[in-house]
Amino acid sequence: MTDVKKPRRKVGIPTRKASGESSKIKKTPLKKALVKKAKDKALVKKKAAIDPKRYFEAVGRRKKSVARVRLFTCRPFEDSKGKININGKFYTDFFSIFEFQQIVADPLKKMKSLNRFEATVKVKGGGSRGQAEAIRHGLARTLVEFNPDFSKKLKRAGFLTRDPRRKERKKPGLKKARRAPQWSKR
């Protein structure tokens, strides 16, 4: 037979059987407090489910650019309606070229909700066009997170599709990805 150690019992504290308590567990003040705390947590979770989120977050990508987008819903009498901040600057200041400004605002214009939201974006990597298209991709994703019904319209416009095209790598023996060195017949 193997020796199995029995758990030690503190000396001087009678067990339930020894003290003659019934099999029903009486609720002590500590137990009541724990039960109340658990109920309070459940109520808080229910309220959190009902309350609207403070913001919606998504990541957009294009070429080497990555944009982290946070979309805030504006309150009816707020001054900052339709504000898109990119790396701490207003989007018209960040992108001086009008075409890139249009690309950034496209998803909000498509859903006719340019003044309904405020967005903050952190973008890095790539060039201007890649960054603008990454922001557009991220904004479209946050709009779908806010309201899944927007998905159909944004997908049809092509804003939710991640463009997989990237710079092709340089191959050995060639000057660039496909450009061969100049060849002369004689």
Closest to 80 in 3D by CA, of 134, 106, 119? 119
Looking at residues 135-150, what average pLDDT do you find? Answer: 90
pLDDT at 66: 93
Task: Give tens-digit pLDDT for 28-41.
Answer: 666 666 666 666 66
Domain parsing of the chain, residue ranges: 56-157
Structure token pair of residue 43: 């109520």
Closest to 74 in 3D by CA, of 118, 108, 105? 118
Q: What is the pTM of this model?
A: 0.65
Task: Give tens-digit pLDDT for 144-173.
Answer: 988 888 888 888 988 888 889 999 999 999
Which CATH number does 56-157 carry? 3.30.230.10
DSSP category for residue 54: S
Looking at residues 179-183, what average pLDDT do you find? Answer: 94
pLDDT at 35: 66
Rounded-to-integer distance, Cα 72 and Cα 35, Å: 36
pLDDT at 49: 45
The vertex-168 CA angle with 165 and 173, nearest 5°, equals 165
Strands (E) across 28-185 are located at: 55-62, 65-73, 84-86, 89-90, 117-124
What own/partner pairs with CB < 8 Å and gap ≥ 24 does 17-21 have? none
DSSP annotation string for 78-104 = -S-TT-EEETTEEHHHH--SHHHHHHH
* Residue 51 reports pLDDT greater than 50: no
